[in-house]
């Protein structure tokens, strides 16, 4: 069974300095933390805060292309959790044809926000995340990674979820 979720917030893991997105079930307030990369966190944060850049970021470029070829995103689902890795699917509609593609949850969420598509989490992910001793992805130590980390740290957490 799928559970509709909202983005409850984003934070930084103090141990690894890695961004975490918190999804919260609309039904029972169950929170699901997902460790994500700095660039994906920036893309999600910019969509949540309606920040636009002079040039399109990757997820904006994808949205622009999909609109050009008349493809919609109908929903995304975080569908599995294996070995501390989350899996997602993006569901599309093109004319009358429906299809889906595998995705990282961070990319799926960034795209869903741009299409105002609902976000769902499967029961098994919720159960596994309760049992999981989640490990963060490796932090990006590059100069660009540090720049995005600083950007994310300056964001006001009260602004998340107000899209």
Q: What is the CATH number of domain 2-159?
A: 3.10.690.10
Domain ranges of the chain: 2-159
Q: Radius of gyration over alpha carbons of the chain, in Å?
A: 15
Number of Cβ within 10 Å of residue 54's Cβ equals: 4
| pLDDT per position as a tens digit, 2-29 | 999 999 999 998 888 899 999 999 998 8
In terms of pTM, does the model score above 0.85? Answer: no
Residues 113-163 have pLDDT tens digits of: 999 999 999 999 998 887 654 444 445 566 666 666 666 666 655 555 444
Query: 10 Å Cβ neighbour count for 141?
Result: 9
């Amino acid at each position: 069974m799928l559970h509709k979720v909202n983005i409850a917030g984003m934070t930084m893991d103090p141990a690894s300095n890695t961004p975490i997105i918190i999804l919260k079930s609309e039904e029972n307030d169950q929170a699901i933390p997902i460790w994500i990369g700095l660039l994906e966190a920036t893309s999600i944060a910019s969509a949540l805060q309606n920040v636009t850049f002079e040039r399109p970021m990757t997820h904006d470029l994808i949205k622009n292309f999909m609109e050009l070829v008349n493809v919609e995103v109908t929903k995304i689902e975080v569908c599995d959790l294996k070995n501390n890795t989350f899996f997602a699917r993006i569901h599309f509609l093109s004319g009358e044809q429906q299809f889906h593609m595998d995705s990282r949850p961070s990319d799926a969420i960034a795209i869903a926000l741009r299409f105002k598509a609902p976000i769902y989490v499967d029961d098994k992910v919720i159960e596994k995340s309760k049992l999981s001793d989640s490990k963060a992805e490796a932090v990006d130590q590059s100069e660009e990674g540090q720049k995005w980390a600083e950007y994310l740290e300056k964001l006001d957490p009260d602004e998340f979820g107000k899209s």
